Every structure is written in C-alpha cells, then in structure tokens.
Structure 1
Amino acid sequence: MNKENEFFSKDFEFEDLVKKAKRRSIIKMVLISLVISVIVLFGLYFIGDTVMKMKMEKETDLDSAWNGVMGANIEKRGGIFNYSLTSATAKTKLVKVVGGVPIPWGEQEKVFTIFGSSRLISNNGPSGLGYSDDERIPMYYEGERVVEFFHPQVNYKQIFDDRKLLNVIDDNKVVEMAFSFDDGYSIEEVNEVFKEQLAWYWVDTFSKDQIENDNNFNKDKNFRDATIHGFQAYGFSYNRNAETYSASNFISILERVKEDGGDYQEDADRIITNITNQGEIKLEPQNLKIIGVIVTGKPSDLIKFSDESMIRGATLGATTDQY
C-alpha cells in the first residue's frame, strides 16, 4: 500500500511534540525524585545527628558519673568533643591528685556515629614486666606505679607492705599509697585516723561468692594472688569541705546508674545488692564498710602510719615532685 492509499497519514510534527512532552515529564519526575531524595536524606541525617548528640550527651554523662565511683583516686578533668560529617569523638582526660599535684592518668576516647552506635577506641590498662617466678611484678600505668588492695576476708600468699619505701624516697616528692584494712570500718573511724592525708575511700562491694572464689583462686600455687588493682576498685574521693556529701554522692550515682545506666547498669545493681546484703540493710553512708584508703603527701607525712594496727597491707602508687 502506497502513501496515496493510506487511511491515516502520519503527523510528524505531532509525534515530535509527544516526544518532547515525554522528555519534559521524565526530566520533571527525575528532578522531583532528586529533590525528595535530598529532603529525605537531609531529614535522616538531621535525625541521626540529633540522636547521636543525645546519645553522646547521655553516655559521656554516665561515663563521667561512673568515673566518680570506679578507680582509686582517679578524677575526670574536662572533655574534648571533635565532630565530623557522620561521627563525633569524645575525649576525657583523667588525673590523679597526689599531695595537691595533678598527675596525668591517661584519657578515655569514645566515638559516636549518626547510625546510633558508639564504641570505646582507647582505654589502655596497666602493665608489668617480669618473670613467672618473680616474687612480685608491680604494675605501671603512664610510667607510675599502680596501687593494689587486699580484701580483709581474702587469704593471700603474700601481702605487700611498701611503707618501708617511705624511708628512701626524697622528701621533696609527694607520693600516693594504698592502705588495705584488716576489717570493714565506718567513715568516721577512718577519718579519725587518716583525715589529714586522706584522698579516697575503698568501699567493700564484694559478695560472699566473690570472696569465696578469690580464696579458692589464691590456693592455686600456679597463679599469682587475685589482688585488686586501683582500676578495679570502687569507692569515692574524700572531700575536705563536704565530708558527708562524698558518701551521699557515691550512693546517688549508684542509684541513678541502676535505674538507667546503660553499660554500667548491671554493675551498679550488683554493687548495691552486695552493699545492702540483698536488701537487708539500707543503702546509707553509715552502712558503707570502708576496707581501704588512698593517702597522699610527702613521705614524712605518711611515715606516721607505719605502726597503724588497722592496716593489713600497703602498696605504693604514683609519685611526683612536690614543686
């Protein structure tokens, strides 16, 4: 069939208009989809960024609170926040105050993402160097000795007494020393003896099962005694200006973390259970059993405790120049 016999003739101009309309429609749909995608992505980013900041605020606050109850004579001193497009890093500096002199004690670093995750990316612990048959391998951190504690109800193969070292340390130094007691004492009893040099209280947070396990472990001659390093100890700082507040603050932190403490919630619940003997006694300052302390000062200031009968063991900690 030739063109003269075709029933309908082709309209090329109309076809061009239809093609142009289709192209404009496709371009319009692509642009609309692009704009919607940008809005959605921006919205998701905004939500993620908001959630990240809320999570970071909550977790750093909890970390700061927990630093107030865990770690012998370790204090938080400020934090630094670094932000990127999809994450943020929180760095917290820690110090020990020894005889009024702050000693850097490392830092904790945590990274948060807009996807709701967080992780600790640096938290170095103490380390020691020696041989398996050495009588003692002291632990060090940041170039300084790490204190050790001895629980009054745990039997050890050997209990160290570093008070003799006070006689050979220059009196221009200030030192930190951990005293472990032969029993649990009240805050008032401890203050009466150590108040002038007191820096930190070690609270008995052990369960009967923990004590039994440590005793069984220490019977094994193939292993060293299960002493408590300063990083593992729970307690609170001595506040010369508000002695009562220190113990009350320790309790408040535990109660708060127990209710909504994230990674620390289980530990807080366990500690409260142990302190209160599974709820038999109230969680109050007068019911806290102090089983050790950190004292600081010049060697001549600490020598006066050389014959104190309540001290079961003594370990040297950080030392630094007084000036």
Structure 2
Amino acid sequence: MKSDDEKLKELFNTKETTNFAKTIRKAKVFSILKTVLLSLMIVIILSFVVLISNAKILNNMAQQKQMDLRTWYDISMPNAYIGNMQYDDRLFTGEIDYVRYRFLGNKPIADGSYKEGYGFLLINGIYGDLGYQLFAGSGNLNEITNYNIAGKRIMKFYHPSVKYDNYINNLDVVDKIGANKLAEMSLSFDKAYTVDEVRAMLPKEVTLNWYWVDTYNEKELSMAEISDKNEKSIKESVVFEENYVYGMKALDLLGNKIDKPEEMFIGAISRGSKDKNVAFIYKNIFNKLSEGKGEVKKENLKIIGVVVSGDTDSLKKLKNQNYIKAATLGAVADKY
C-alpha cells in the first residue's frame, strides 16, 4: 500500500506530464499554422508575380501580334481591312478578336469577325481552325465558288503566264446585280503592267481598291496534280483565291486614295521578315521582286491584276476591255 507521500508525488508528476504534453501539442499546432500561413503567403506572392508577369508578357505579345497582323494585311487580303480589336488575355495564352471590313466604292461593309491567338506556353484548349471559308468546297477551283465566314464570295485570280482551259468572266452578270447595288470584282490581266499604266487604263468611274503584284516563281505556277471523280490523276492549272495572293492596297483605312501604295507595300515586306511565323513568305517575295539586287523599287512591281468596286453602271465600263482575261465577283451590298 502506497504511503501519502508517494501518492502526492504521483499526483504532481501526472500534472507535470499532462501540462508538458499540452505545451508540446500547442507548439506543434502553432508550428503547423505558421508553416501553412507562410506557405500561403508565398503562394499569394508567387501568384501575384506570375499574374503580373503573365499580363506584361501577353500585353507585349498582343501588341506584336497586332503589328504583325496589320503588316500582313498591307501585303495581302485584297480589299480587306482590320477594324476594331478586342484583346482576351488568359493564363499563358491570349487572343485578338477583330472585325474586318471592305470598301465598295466609298461605302465600308462588314466582312466578318476573326481571331488570332498568341501565347508563351503550350496549353491545351480549343482545337481546329475556323479559317476564312464558310465551308470547305471540293472540286476544280475554276468551277466552284467558295464563300468566306461572312458569306461573301471569295474572289479568284488567274496568272497571265498560265494557260487555262477557261476563264470566269462575271462581268456578264453585272446587269443582274441590280441598279441599287454595289459590288467588288477581281480583274486578272492579260499581261503585267506598271502601277502607272494600271491607273491610266482603268475607267475613272470604278474605284481601284487593290493591286495584284506578281510575286510567283515557276514552281508556284506549275500545274497541280489532283484526282478526278474516278480517282484518276490529272493536272489542273493553278487558280489563286484571294487569301493566297499578294499585292498593294490602293485605299487607306478610311477609304482614301493612297498616292504611293508601293512605298507601304515595300516597307511591309521589310518589316514582315521579322515575323518568325511567316518570315519565309516575306523573304521569298523580297527575293523575287529584288531579283537578287538587295532592293525592291517601284519598277520591280509588275501588276497582273486588281480589285475594283463600284455600282453596276461603273462596273459595266469594264466590259470588252482587252486587258481583262478574267473577272470574278466578290462582295455585293446595297448602295444605300
């Protein structure tokens, strides 16, 4: 049997042990809370740094993408202009949404909404490409009509050095368009002309919107191998759609005449060579036009077609012009 002294010692020892255990538990909890709070603060600070860096990097990329896009439109996309833009920056990726418009005479018309993405990390997301076409057509390009996402006819171009079995001439349907309508048309010439010659030979009644510049080599003009309905291989003369031709805007963003369009075109070729995504296109165009001399001048620009617009009365002035080998209809809109 324990004495009173032994009982008192056990009692005090138990209290000391219990208090010490509580102190240890409190210390552990405090340490965990401290670690959690510290980790949370680090996460918050790092997230803030990442978000700020992400915004800054994407902003710079968006500005560069905008400049690249505008430069691209300076050498391509006949009679198409970039309108209002909206930027959508996310984490590591972003997107530019922009509207496009055209000039029919002096009237601007909407030409659909388009997107361009940018980013600095490969992030899974939306797949596929809306592209420029409303739907993918099939068959001989000379026989089918494609439409862009706004429902506008996609114009075609015929190179003068290529012999085609037949040429489209939509000047024959001008009378059917209607007197209260405006329209654009691509004109493919019988040979190459200078910028000044083109200005002189086109009727004053039509609006000159765009010059098609000869930027092609022999390989690009060679006949393409395709398969017919019976899967037989045949050769087809290359017909160019408006998304795959290069040239000069004759009108500025407000629809005003550009006095020296060749300067903007030549400058765009030089700037575009810095765009790593399509630099090879600019370099090929520069090499073709400069003829190895390291410089592109106005006299190097051979015009093989144009895009014009106007009302039906003005477009009728183009009928029976010997220099026109083909003419394809593009956008049509009400005059008023």
Query: Normalised by the shorter chain, which TM-score bucket?
Result: 0.7 to 0.9
**Equivalence for 2:143:** 136
Quick one: structure 1 residues 221 and 312, their matched pair in 2 at CA, closer, same or farther if it must change by over 3 Å?
farther
Q: Is the 8 A contact 1:160 1:314 kept in 2?
A: yes
**Equivalence for 2:304:** 291
**Equivalence for 2:280:** 266
Tell me the distance in 2 between the aligned counterparts of 1:39 and 1:50. Answer: 16
**Equivalence for 1:201:** 211
Q: Secondary structure at the match of 2:49?
A: helix
> TM-score when scaled to structure 2?
0.81
Quick one: structure 1 residues 135 and 180, their matched pair in 2 at CA, closer, same or farther if it must change by over 3 Å?
closer
Q: Secondary structure at the match of 1:145?
A: coil
Cα displacement (A) at 1:52: 1.5
**Equivalence for 1:16:** 22
Quick one: structure 1 residues 73 and 134, their matched pair in 2 at CA, closer, same or farther if it must change by over 3 Å?
closer
**Equivalence for 2:82:** 76
Cα displacement (A) at 1:238: 0.9
* 1:307 maps to which of 320, 325, 328: 320
> TM-score when scaled to structure 1?
0.84
- Does residue 168 (structure 1) correspond to residue 176 (structure 2)? The answer is yes
Q: Secondary structure at the match of 1:151?
A: coil
Cα displacement (A) at 1:23: 2.5
- Does residue 243 (structure 1) correspond to residue 252 (structure 2)? The answer is no
Quick one: structure 1 residues 161 and 207, their matched pair in 2 at CA, closer, same or farther if it must change by over 3 Å?
same
Tell me the distance in 2 between the aligned counterparts of 1:135 and 1:105. Answer: 23
Amino acid corresponding to residue 301 of structure 2 in structure 1: L
**Equivalence for 1:256:** 271
Q: Secondary structure at the match of 1:144?
A: coil
In our comparison, the structure showing a higher alpha carbon Rg is: 2
Tell me the distance in 1 between the aligned counterparts of 2:198 and 2:211. Answer: 9
Q: Is the 8 A contact 2:203 2:318 kept in 1?
A: no
CA deviation profile, 1:189-237 (whole Å, cap 9, x unmatched): 11111273211101111112212x237779x974654211112111121
* Count of aligned pairs between the two proteins: 314
**Equivalence for 1:90:** 96
Tell me the distance in 1 between the aligned counterparts of 2:91 and 2:293. Answer: 51
Tell me the distance in 2 between the aligned counterparts of 1:75 and 1:133. Answer: 29
Q: Secondary structure at the match of 2:177?
A: coil
Q: Is the 8 A contact 1:145 1:318 kept in 2?
A: yes
* 2:114 maps to which of 95, 108, 115: 108
CA deviation profile, 1:19-58 (whole Å, cap 9, x unmatched): 3223322321221122112111221122112212211221
Quick one: structure 1 residues 133 and 97, their matched pair in 2 at CA, closer, same or farther if it must change by over 3 Å?
closer
Cα displacement (A) at 1:149: 0.6
Amino acid corresponding to residue 166 of structure 1 in structure 2: V
Over the matched positions of the two proteins, sequence identity in percent amounts to 24
Cα displacement (A) at 1:102: 2.0
RMSD: 3.2
Quick one: structure 1 residues 166 and 207, their matched pair in 2 at CA, closer, same or farther if it must change by over 3 Å?
same
Q: Secondary structure at the match of 1:146?
A: coil
Quick one: structure 1 residues 271 and 115, their matched pair in 2 at CA, closer, same or farther if it must change by over 3 Å?
same
Matches within 5 A, 1:174-253: 174-194=182-202, 196=204, 197=206, 198-211=208-221, 213-214=222-223, 222=234, 225-239=237-251, 241-244=257-260, 246-253=261-268
Tell me the distance in 2 between the aligned counterparts of 1:55 and 1:230. Answer: 28
Instruction: Return 5+ residue gaps in structure 2 as ranges.
Output: none
Cα displacement (A) at 1:135: 7.9
CA deviation profile, 1:44-102 (whole Å, cap 9, x unmatched): 12211221221122112211221222111111122123456776442111112112222
Cα displacement (A) at 1:156: 1.4
Tell me the distance in 2 between the aligned counterparts of 1:320 and 1:86. Answer: 41
